Amino acid sequence: METGFIGLGAMGKYMAINLSKAGYLKTVFNRTTKKTEIFKKEYKCLVSNSPSELATRCRLIIISVSRDQDVLDIVKQLITKISSNSIIVDTSTTSSKTAKKATDLLKKVNSYFLDAPVSGGVEGAKNGTLAMMVGGEKQVLKEARPVLNVIAKNIVHIGPTGSGQATKAVNQIMAAGMNQAVTEALAFGEAMNLPMEKVIKIVSTGAAGNWFLDHRGETMLSGKFEPGFKLSLHQKDLSICQSMVGSISENALPIIEMTLIHYKKLIDDGYGDEDISALFRLKQANLKK
């Protein structure tokens, strides 16, 4: 199925590259035209000047952008030119409410929306090994799955519209918890003057072993925070989670609240574009005498 891709950011670029290599990618659009021109030179595809133009060229459209309003603005442009029975797959992280609004807009033109946020960071996008959690009609996912298999190793249909984004919220809260635990524990180990390479090696083989420790432990101890997942984007996602919690309970979730406070401090200090493991900076500072 010929596919259009919207959003050539850190994640989107690699998803589009994998689609191109597999022969599915027909056209791309990005607000910053420089990115599309660079992409076009290396990968054979058409460059669309707008989402509405892209909609005239393919039935399957994948979106990867940063903000809820961006998704809705794109969908509003798509529906002006989109063909009936088109499928829009949104891999962005947004609220369930946004997914439902987008679905309602597309229903008016007899087309479909899947909220399909992904997890796995830039590494997963580059390697085509992302995890994808999908909300929407199961039959629609079945039709799009051959294309989506190129960018995601594990694809699970969660349930109706919005459930994909709700599941991603679960993921982002867990990610915050792991970030808090790993950075704090390693800062403690460092302050105790332990041989940290050995600590990571043995801890990672036990019950406390996890992906974040394996992939970020050594780099944070070396003071390297190249973004696999930007801290500022996780802050945005956790703000969405905070809002979702507020819609179901009067009680806040401590992990969300604490992490947002810490991230604000780091962003104010100029670290918003670093990896979320930059939280280690605060943990180190907290343990200094």
| Residues annotated as catalytic (active site), given as ranges | 168
Distance CA 229, CA 219 (A): 14
Residue type, 108: K
Q: Please check whether residue 103 is in contact with residue 71, taking contact to mean a CB–CB distance below 8 angstroms.
A: no
**Phi, psi at residue 218, to the nearest 5°?**
-65, -40
Instruction: Spell out a b/e string for 263-281, using b for 16 or more CB atoms within 10 Å of the CB, else e.
Output: beebbeeebbebbbbbbbb
Identify the residue whose tokens are 């969405």: 240
Per-residue three-class SS string for 95-130: CHHHHHHHHHHHHCCCCEEEECCEECHHHHHHHCCE
Identify the residue whose tokens are 């599309």: 36
SS3 category, 258: helix
Residue 48 belongs to what H/E stretch? none
